[in-house]
Amino acid sequence: MAKYLLLKHYRGAPAPANDVPMEKWTPEEISAHVQYMRDFAARLEESGEYVEGQALAPEGEWVRYDGEGRPPVTDGPFAETKDLIAGWMIIDVDSHERAVELAGELSAAPGAGGKPIHEWLELRPFLAASPTATDDCHAGG
């Protein structure tokens, strides 16, 4: 089994086919979208492929260690992921092909007018293992 992150974007990815922002959806359209996501997760729980998923709140901030005894730094000219990342789901599947299949299915969640969004999802495999000093990572160098 291999774990993958399915990352939903507010923006930063190519525009979905049904490109109506959620703030313009009706309450019924939002409910249908959320129910689709819940049903999708429930089906993956039954198959053993669901690990975890969450929608993210729009607020957030950057924090950085700024030295011993100093308060963390919480400002700066950073890309605001709170404007980019809407939520995520972690799946644990038998193959990359299955991960792509599930990402495609999740992309079909309904949006405005009840029609599938066809949104782009970022599919990222988890790093299986960290390299160790004994690995031959630098062969030939």
- pLDDT score of 141: 46
2-11, 69-78, 93-102: range with lowest mean pLDDT: 69-78
- Alpha carbons 7 and 12: distance in angstroms, whole number: 11
Give 58's pLDDT tier (boundaries 50, 70, 90).
confident
Dihedral, 10, 11, 14, 18 alpha carbons, nearest 10 = 50
- Alpha carbons 77 and 56: distance in angstroms, whole number: 21
Greater confidence, 90 or 131?
90
> How crowded is residue 102: how many other Cβ atoms within 10 Å of its Cβ?
23
Query: Tokens 């313009």 belong to which residue?
Result: 24
Structure tokens at 8: 């939903």
Rg, Å, the chain Cα set: 19
The string of pLDDT tens digits covering residues 71-87 is 887 765 555 555 567 88
Top-ranked range on mean pLDDT: pick from 16-20, 45-49, 52-56: 45-49
Residue 23 is classified by DSSP as: G
